[in-house]
Amino acid sequence: MSFESIKSLKSRIGEEVSVRGWLHHVRRQGKLTFLVIRDNTGYIQSVIKPASGEAATTVAKKLTRETAVTAKGVVKEDKRAPYNGLELQINNISPVIDYASPELEHEIRPDSGPQVLLNKRHLVLRGEQASDIMRFRDLMTRSFRKFFFLRDFVEVTPSTIVQTQVEGGSTLFSFDYFEQEAYLTQSSQLYLETVLASLGNVFCVLPSFRAEKSRTRRHLTEYTHIEAEMPWYDFDDLLNFMEDMMIHVYSSAKESPTVAKFDQKVDIPKKPFERVSYEKAIDLLREYDIKGESGTFLEYGEDLTEGPERMLVDAIGKPTFLTHFPVGMKPFYMKLNDNNPKVMNAADLLIPNVGEIIGASQREDDYELLLNRMKEEGLDPSPYYWYLDQRKYGTVPHSGFGLGLERFVQAILNLDHIREACLYPRLINRATP
Ligand code: 4AD
CATH code, domain carrying 83: 2.40.50.140
Residues 6+ apart with CB under 8 A from 330: 344, 346, 359, 361
Residue 166 CB less than 6 A away from ligand 1? yes
Instruction: Count how many domains the chain has.
Output: 2
Same structural domain for residues 14 and 143? Answer: no
Domain endpoint, select from 75, 105, 135: 105
Sign of the dihedral through C-alpha 118, 121, 126, 132: positive
Q: What's the number of CA atoms in the CB half-sphere (13 Å) around residue 410?
A: 26
Residues 6+ apart with CB under 8 A from 409: 133, 136, 137, 140, 415, 421
Amino acid at 111: D
The closest residue, in CA terms, to atom 23 on ligand 1 is 404
Residue 193 CB less than 6 A away from ligand 1? no
Q: Could you tell me how far CA 197 lies from the centroid of its own chain? A: 30
The full length of the chain comes to: 433
Residue 407 CB less than 6 A away from ligand 1? yes
- Assess contact for 290 and 311: CB atoms under 8 A: yes
Residue 203 CB less than 6 A away from ligand 1? no
* Any domain includes 115: no
Same structural domain for residues 86 and 131? Answer: no
- Assess contact for 256 and 139: CB atoms under 8 A: yes
Domain that holds residue 398: 122-421
Residue from 363, 360, 259 nearest 319 by CA: 360
- Among 144, 162, 210, say which to mutate for ligand 1: greatest number of ligand atoms within 8 Å of CB: 210
* Any domain includes 39: yes
The closest residue, in CA terms, to atom 13 on ligand 1 is 359
Helices (H) and strands (E) in the chain, counts: 14, 16
pTM across the whole model: 0.96
Residue 339 phi, psi (nearest 5): -80, -30
Same structural domain for residues 55 and 160? Answer: no
Per-residue pLDDT of the chain (433 residues; tens, 9 = 90+): 799 999 999 999 999 999 999 999 999 999 999 999 999 999 999 999 999 999 999 999 999 999 999 999 999 999 999 998 999 999 999 999 999 999 998 999 889 999 999 999 999 999 999 999 999 999 999 999 999 999 999 999 999 999 999 998 899 999 999 999 999 999 999 999 999 999 999 999 999 999 988 789 999 999 999 999 999 999 999 999 999 999 999 999 999 999 999 999 999 999 999 999 999 999 999 999 999 988 999 999 999 999 999 999 999 999 999 999 999 899 999 999 999 999 999 999 999 999 999 999 999 999 999 999 999 999 999 999 999 999 999 999 999 999 999 999 999 999 999 999 999 999 999 999 9
Domain endpoint, select from 80, 105, 130: 105
The rounded Å distance from CA 302 to ligand 1 centre is 19
Residue 227 CB less than 6 A away from ligand 1? yes
